Chain A
Amino acid sequence: MRLERRSDVPLRIIIFAPLMAVLVALLIAAFLIAAAGVNPLTAYVELLRGALGSRLAITEMFTRATPLILTGLAVAVAFRARLWNIGGEGQFFMGALVTAWIGHSLALPGVLGIPVLMVAGMAAGAALLAGPAYLRLRFGVDEVVTTLLLNFIVILFVGLMIEGPLRDPLAFGWPSSVPVDRDFRLPDLIPGTRLHTGLLFAIAAAGAVWLIFARTVFGFETRAAGLNPTAAAFAGVSLPRTLMGVALLSGALAGLAGSVEVLGVTAGVTTTMSPGFGYAGIVVAMLAALHPAGVVASATFVATVFVGADAMSRATGVPSFIADVIVALCLLTMIVALLFTTYRVRR
Chain B
Amino acid sequence: MIEAIELLWNTNLWAAVLRIATPLIFGVLGALLCERAGVLNLGIEGIMTMGAMTGWLTVYLGGDLWVGLSVAALAGGLMGLLHAGLTVPLGLSQHVSGLGITLLASALSYYLYRLIVEVGDLPPTIEPFRPLDIPLLSDIPILGPILFSQTMPTYLALLSVAVIAYVLARTPLGLAIRMTGENPHAVDAQGLNPMRIRIGAVVAGSALMGVGGAFLTTAAFNSFFPEMVQGRGWICIALVVFASWRPGKALIGALLFAFFDAYQLRLQTAIDGVPYQLFLMAPYVLSIVALILVARRAEVPAALMAPYRRGER
Other contacts beyond A149-B231, A336-B86, A339-B90: 14, CB < 8 A: A35-B115, A140-B296, A140-B298, A141-B292, A149-B234, A153-B285, A159-B277, A163-B277, A283-B103, A319-B114, A321-B107, A325-B111, A328-B104, A331-B104
Asked if A156 contacts B92 (CB within 8 A), the reply is no
Interface of chain A, main secondary structure = helix
Is B7 interfacial (CB-CB < 8 Å)? Answer: no
Using a CB–CB cutoff of 8 Å, the interface residues on chain A facing chain B are 3, 32, 35-36, 79, 84, 86, 135, 139-142, 144-146, 148-153, 156-157, 159-160, 163-164, 279, 282-283, 286, 319, 321-322, 324-325, 327-329, 331-332, 335-336, 339
16 A-B residue pairs with CB within 8 Å: A32-B108, A142-B295, A145-B288, A149-B288, A152-B284, A153-B281, A156-B281, A157-B277, A321-B110, A324-B111, A327-B103, A327-B107, A331-B104, A332-B82, A335-B92, A335-B100
CB pair A319–B104 under 8 Å, yes or no, is no
**Is the beta-carbon distance between B115 and A152 smaller than 8 angstroms?**
no
The distance in angstroms between the C-alpha atoms of A277 and B224, with both chains bound, is 24
Q: Is the CB of A32 within 8 A of B111?
A: yes
Whole-angstrom distance between the alpha carbons of A151 and B288 in the complex? 12
Q: Provide the bound-state CA to CA distance between A163 and B82, in Å.
A: 42
- Tell me whether A335 and B104 are in contact (CB under 8 A): no
Structural contact, B111 and A156, CB atoms closer than 8 A? no
A41 CB to closest chain B CB, in angstroms? 19
CA distance A54 to B179 in the complex (A): 59
Contact of A142 among B90, B107, B291 (CB under 8 A): B291
Interface residues of B in 216-256 (CB under 8 A from A): 230-231, 234-235, 237-238, 241
B275 within 8 Å of A (CB atoms): yes
A329, B238: Cα distance in complex, Å: 26
B residues less than 8 Å from A135 (CB atoms): 288, 291-292, 295
- Whether, in the assembled complex, B96 has its beta carbon less than 8 Å from a beta carbon of chain A, the answer is yes
B95 touches A84 (CB 8 A): yes
Smallest distance from the beta carbon of A153 to chain B beta carbons, Å?
5
CA distance in complex: A82, B250 (Å):
28
The 4 closest A-B pairs by CB, nearest first: A324-B107, A328-B103, A319-B114, A328-B104
Q: Report if A324-B288 is in contact (Cβ < 8 Å); known contacts: A160-B278, A336-B90.
A: no
For residue A164, which residues in chain B have a CB less than 8 angstroms away from its CB?
275
> Which residues of B have CB within 8 Å of A325?
104, 107-108, 111
Q: Chain B: residues with CB nearer than 8 A to chain A? A: 42, 82, 86, 90-93, 95-97, 99-101, 103-104, 106-108, 110-111, 114-115, 230-231, 234-235, 237-238, 241, 275, 277-278, 280-281, 284-285, 287-288, 291-292, 295-296, 298, 309
Query: Shortest beta-carbon distance, B115 to chain A, in Å?
Result: 6
Q: In the complex, are the beta carbons of B231 and A148 less than 8 A apart?
A: yes
Q: Is the CB of A324 within 8 A of B106?
A: yes
Q: How far is the CA of A279 from the CA of B231 in the complex (A)?
A: 14
Q: How far is the CA of A17 from the CA of B39 in the complex (A)?
A: 26
Q: How far is the CA of A146 from the CA of B242 in the complex (A)?
A: 13
In the complex, are the beta carbons of A142 and B241 less than 8 A apart?
yes
Residue of B nearest to A142 (CB): B241
Q: Could you tell me if A152 and B104 are in contact, using CB atoms closer than 8 angstroms?
A: no
* Contact across chains for A139 and B292 when beta carbons are under 8 A apart: yes
Q: Give which listed residue, B92, B99, B237, B295, contacts A339 with CB less than 8 A.
A: B92
Cβ contact within 8 Å between B114 and A321? yes
